[in-house]
Amino acid sequence: MVYAQGWIENITAGRGWIAVGLVMFAAWNPWRALVGAYLFGLAISLQLRMQAAGSDVSPYLLGMLPYLLVISAMALSSIIARKKSQSVPTALGIPYAEQA
């Protein structure tokens, strides 16, 4: 996490899609979310380290690496969830209202 003094266009640099993929990968399990966050963070740092090391791989392909991992994790987790008949929490999407 980082603190930014101001707001600029594309401040998240597409990381929101990684967060969405992380939620789908975790399937509402906090331990899977922790493992997924480390996995996706590792992919991002690997991409940056490979670029800094002067890898012969195209920088565009290296930039796609974290997102390709997220897409494959989302596809795999949705296939597993479909086989296990997992569903989202029943209260998801229902606004919280305090009882008076």
Task: Answer yes or no: is 58 within a domain.
Answer: yes
Residue 67 lies in a domain: yes
d(CA 13, CA 66): 12
Mean pLDDT of the region 64-89: 81
Domain count, the chain: 1
Whether 24 is covered by a domain: the verdict is yes
Phi-psi region of 97 (alpha: psi -120 to 50; beta: other; left: phi over 0): beta
Residue 5 covered by a domain:
no
At 19, list the tokens: 């967060």
Q: Determine, yes or no, domain membership for 6.
A: no
Question: Can you point out the beta strands (E) in 1-100?
Answer: none
Query: Containing domain of residue 39, as a range?
Result: 20-84
| Phi, psi for 43 (deg, rounded to 5) | -65, -40
Q: Residue 87: which pLDDT band, with cuts at 50, 70 and 90?
A: low
User: What tens digit of pLDDT does each residue of 25-67 get?
Assistant: 888 888 988 998 898 888 888 888 888 888 888 888 888 888 8
